[in-house]
């Protein structure tokens, strides 16, 4: 998987929006952008993924830059339950893309 | 509609004993992946299996570790002669599709936490 860069940590207040950035300047045309999160003492949890267009689901929104070299995960109203490590991962089609490669991610702290 | 089920959730073993971790994938999923997370470290890929086949075990330590996914029953990650360095959280994930799609989403279990005394 191509490399992604995320801030080590971010902080937010409860009920405020959170924008988690991810840079992936070496992304290729067939790479999907995936986000997973890992709550304390739990397994990773899928959040959202996209290829070129912005995506929305019940958990979050994914905004993808026009050149696809960066993306932003948006939590519209953070809750205490959103405190987790958030991982931005690129997945190509075919090859060995099943090796979902986790970096260090961004540790999100949500203040009450 | 149960998710990925892992057991045991916690396992304590003494050095030299064997550890067996089980993973039942989501219903309809035939692809299983094992990951390990050492204390204060990131998740590392270990092995990818389909029913009765090991597709990629490049992340598995060469000795003492083995994995299987039989035609019937759960996937098993087996660690023989455990050492303290094997203490970690072991996560299993499953998916309905294999490597062909970049949109492939993995569903993870809650993990099995192995402690070696």
Q: What is the pLDDT of residues B73-90, one digit of tens each?
A: 999 999 999 999 999 999
Residue B28 has a pLDDT of 87
Residue A76 has a pLDDT of 94
Mean pLDDT for A43-65 is: 95
**Is A98 in contact with B48 (Cβ distance < 8 A)?**
yes
Residue B104 has a pLDDT of 82
Exposed e or buried b per residue across A60-89, where buried means at least 16 C-beta atoms within 10 angstroms of its C-beta: bbbbbeeebebbbbebeebeeebbbbbbbb
- Burial class (CB within 10 angstroms; exposed 0-12, middle 13-18, buried 19+) of B76: middle
Mean pLDDT for B91-109 is: 83
Residue A98 has pLDDT above 90, yes or no: no
What is the percentage of chain A residues whose pLDDT exceeds 90?
A: 82
Q: Which residues between 31 and 50 in chain A have a beta carbon less than 8 angstroms from any beta carbon of chain B?
A: 31-32, 34, 38, 42-46, 49
């Amino acid at each position: 998987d191509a490399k992604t860069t995320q801030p080590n940590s971010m902080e937010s207040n409860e009920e405020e929006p959170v924008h988690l950035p991810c840079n992936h300047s070496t992304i290729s045309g067939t790479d999907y952008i995936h986000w997973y999160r890992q709550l304390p003492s739990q397994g990773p949890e899928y959040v959202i993924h996209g290829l070129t267009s912005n995506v929305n689901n019940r958990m979050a929104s994914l905004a993808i830059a026009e050149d696809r070299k960066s993306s932003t995960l948006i939590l519209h109203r953070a809750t205490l339950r959103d405190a987790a490590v958030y991982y931005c991962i690129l997945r190509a089609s075919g090859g060995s893309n099943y090796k979902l490669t986790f970096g260090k991610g961004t540790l999100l702290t949500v203040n009450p | 509609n149960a998710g990925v089920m892992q057991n045991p959730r916690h396992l304590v073993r003494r050095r030299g004993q064997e550890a067996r971790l089980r993973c039942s994938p989501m219903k309809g999923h035939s692809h299983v992946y094992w990951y390990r997370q050492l204390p204060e470290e990131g998740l590392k890929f270990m092995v990818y299996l389909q029913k009765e086949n090991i597709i990629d075990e490049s992340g598995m330590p060469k000795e003492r570790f083995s994995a299987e996914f039989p035609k019937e029953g759960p996937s098993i990650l087996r660690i023989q002669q455990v050492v303290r360095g094997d203490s970690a959280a072991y996560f299993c994930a499953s998916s309905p599709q294999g490597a062909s799609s970049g949109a492939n989403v993995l569903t993870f279990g809650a993990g099995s936490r192995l402690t070696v005394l």
